[in-house]
Amino acid sequence: MKDLEMECRSTLIRVLGIYAILGCAAFVTSIFIADFIVPDHDWMADTISDLGAGKYEFIVDIGIYAFSGALISIALLSAHLHLGGKRWSVGVVGFAVLGLIVFLVGARNEYGDSDNEGIVIHRYLVYAIGALLMALPLLMMDGAKRISDIYRPVFIAIAVVWTVSAPVFFFLPDGIDGIYERYLGAIAIFFVCCMAHLFLRLASK
């Protein structure tokens, strides 16, 4: 019975960990597809948000929802395999909240189309994403170190690079903010994949 429980536990970890990586891949793929399909799109100048509005908005929305699911998967894994401490617990909640915020970004559809009717919360959601991605690597680094010493310096580097890079986006000229946003997205995806790798490593033990 104990062996069966361990097998089921490992299967759950692998399924969620693999999905987290696939969710990131789906997000990247949706952006590349939209880059080619959306007419008059300039991937250097136009942001991902611009791709998420108009006739072909469903392409990027699918990717956004997949990435949201990846974040929720990491939250579930972090809760299921709690590596100790209050900071890790806060990180668990942080990943869950981040997943919900990313989902809201896709669901609200108030970007890229000059929407200004009602309460427009897109900018505030972006601020929240920025703050969470700055904090989460620092919240998770001590717990991750229990699995391997390599994770702590990697997570610190991610937090530093994100903290330095993210505010720059708001001061960029329109001609290059699209490519810069993709660079920021790559940092976020790398962090999620690092977390997924950590849990898959645990499942293989």
Q: What is the pLDDT of residues 92-151, one digit of tens each?
A: 999 999 999 999 988 776 554 444 554 567 788 889 999 999 999 999 999 999 999 999
In this predicted structure, what is the pLDDT of residue 112?
Answer: 45
More confident site: 5 or 74:
74
pLDDT tens-digit map of 139-188: 999 999 999 999 999 999 999 999 999 999 988 887 788 889 999 999 99
What residue spans define the domains of the chain? Answer: 2-203
Report pLDDT digits (tens) over 37-86. 877 777 677 777 777 666 778 888 899 999 999 999 999 999 999 998 89
User: Three-state SS string across 178-198, please?
Assistant: HHHHHHHHHHHHHHHHHHHHH
The answer to whether residues 137 and 155 touch, using CB atoms and an 8 Å cutoff, is: yes
Sequence letter at residue 158: I
